[in-house]
Amino acid sequence: MAEANRPEIQLKINSRRGIGTGNIIHPVEIESSPTPFLAATTAGNQTQTPSPFREIKHFKKWFPWLIPSFVVADTVLFVITMYVNDCPKNTVSCVATFLGRLSFQPFKENPLLGPSSSTLEKMGALDVSKVVDDHQGWRLITCIWLHGGLFHLLANMLSLLVIGIRLEQEFGFIRIGLLYVISGFGGSLLSALFLQSNISVGASGAVFGLLGGMLSELITNWTIYANKMAALFTLVIIIVINLAVGILPHVDNFAHLGGFSSGFLLGFVFLMRPQFGWVSQRYTSSYSRVGPRPKYKTYQLVLWLISLILVVAGMIAGLVSLLRGVNLNDYCSWCHYMSCVPTSRWSCDTNPVSCLSEQTGNQYTLTCSNNGKNGTYWLNDPNSSQIRGLCSQLCR
């Protein structure tokens, strides 16, 4: 008899999260109403039966401070790099000379409004020869925090803010920080295995790692999404467009691909959510008539294990191959098209520039070894940085 009069539990679900729309259920904690059992009221001969009310809330929101800190750090490092570059001292002509020591290299040398390649190398850019021959493996990490120019910095930082803040709010600074750094390392590693003639810098690999993490988070937490296919389609379109930009010259798409692949696998490891049934049962067990439910679904655990094995094995194999001087282009003759597709409008030649120099008094004649162009310059005691800058402009 007591079982028949037992009040029913009413669960109210707040769904606030989604890609573009609030369409995801994120249960985490339960909050009882101030009056869980409403007082019985009588109207004539009718009596309202008291019923408890409980609400399962969405997952805790974290305060995002790490991603903004990354943006500040990258911006400060760019200013420091431009200060070290000192264009007026080391280059014949500069852009935005009103900035003084912070002025940019000529457009022909650096169209992104930034420093010279020699300055970036000095600051810690990824240079495969230095990693392999001089054992400077730290460049695989330091290059993530450097940028080739103002345009490069603005594009990466805007993407990082848009993607990273949302993820940090949902999963916290530890998981997103690890995802960002490890993905950046993975991007640098793949870049070094394919692009061994030029230096590489930028946070693009780490940013693509966050995009990859978003995709795997959607897959592994599939059951908590309401508009699953719409969210998946939107995210895939965004990823495809961003990767397509990588086929343009002067863009390191191998860093994008390496970062995305690393982030995609790490998303299964770091961004897995408990299933809704386990969370709801945890807080309503006293009223539940069903058996206990597992915290994670079987497919989540399988993806977690496979991804962890793949990312660890891939990182170790890639690092060992790099330190042994392996060039993956020797094993894949068409892979270079994934980073740049040559057209009638641009060339994908990434060979380092070099020039032959002849001096007659203050007259210097440079001949580009790459394309045969020559130029004559009147210089008063130029330093090596000025000569390299003029050579770079001549060969481009």
For the stretch 66-100, what's the b/e string if a residue is b when 16 or more beta carbons lie within 10 angstroms of its beta carbon?
A: bbeebbeebeebbeebbeebbbeebbbbbbeeeee
Neighbouring C-beta atoms of residue 376, cutoff 10 Å: 10
The C-alpha atoms of residue 230 and residue 42 are separated, in whole angstroms, by: 49
DSSP label at residue 49: P
The 3-class secondary structure across 228-257, one letter per residue, is HHHHHHHHHHHHHHHHHHCCCCCCCHHHHH
The residue annotated as part of the active site, out of 183, 256, 262, 307, is 256
Whether 256 is catalytic? yes
From the candidates 191, 204, 262, 307, give the one annotated as an active-site residue. 204
Summary count for the chain: helices (H), strands (E): 13, 10
- Asked if residues 159 and 124 have their Cβ atoms less than 8 Å apart, the reply is no
Q: Per the structure block, which two tokens stand in for 159?
A: 């993407």
Q: Which of 66, 308, 85, 97 is nearest to 166 (CA)?
A: 66
CB 275 within 8 A of CB 301: no
Q: Is 336 one of the catalytic residues?
A: no
- The DSSP secondary-structure symbol of 147 reads -
Residues 77/146, Cβ–Cβ less than 8 Å: yes
User: Over the range 200-211, which residues count as b (16 or more CB within 10 Å of their CB) and which as e?
Assistant: bbbbbbbbbbbb
Kindly tell me the burial class for residue 197, based on how many C-beta atoms sit within 10 Å of its own C-beta (0-12, 13-18, 19 or more): exposed
- Active-site residue list: 204, 256
